[in-house]
Amino acid sequence: MIEGIANKKESAQMIGTRIARALHKNHTSWALGCLGALYWRVQGDAPNAINCLRMALMNASLNNKHIPLLSLANILHKAGSINDALEIALAALESSPETVVIHFSIGNMYAAKVRTTEEVMKIYCSACVV
């Protein structure tokens, strides 16, 4: 995915270097923090991704907090910490109830908790209403 944002000759490592340089110049950019987190997720390094998201959460405006929150929730979900992931995803939903992807992510988390099909479908359908 990261390699898809650059030309064919640019490696993921080169993109990571460019993100690191940009963060060095602007260490309070929440958007760059999220981009750095995406890089580390692609590299399979969840702890570094979480560190980037911490910085992003500290610097994001209230209107944008749902973005790093959802990314953090997805990392926790993938790591098997479903309850923690769900709590953070619900905070993202509270921050931005109109963001459809949050509803779908919450549905996926409920499905991972082996909720009933009706409960999961209710969450997925809430995304359709938005």
All domains of the chain in start order, with CATH: 1-60 (no CATH), 62-130 (1.25.40.10)
Q: Scanning the structure block, which residue is given the tokens 């080169």?
A: 14
Of 103, 42, 106, 47, residue with least CA distance to 79: 47
pLDDT value at residue 77: 96
For the full predicted model, state whether its pTM sits above 0.85: no
Of 87, 66, 65, 75, residue with least CA distance to 130: 66
**CA distance linking residue 35 with residue 41, whole number of Å:** 10
**CA distance linking residue 19 with residue 86, whole number of Å:** 29
Ranges of the chain whose pLDDT falls below 50: 1-3
pLDDT value at residue 9: 62
DSSP letter at 47? Answer: H
**CA distance linking residue 106 with residue 92, whole number of Å:** 10
pLDDT value at residue 95: 94
pLDDT value at residue 115: 65
**CA distance linking residue 28 with residue 119, whole number of Å:** 39
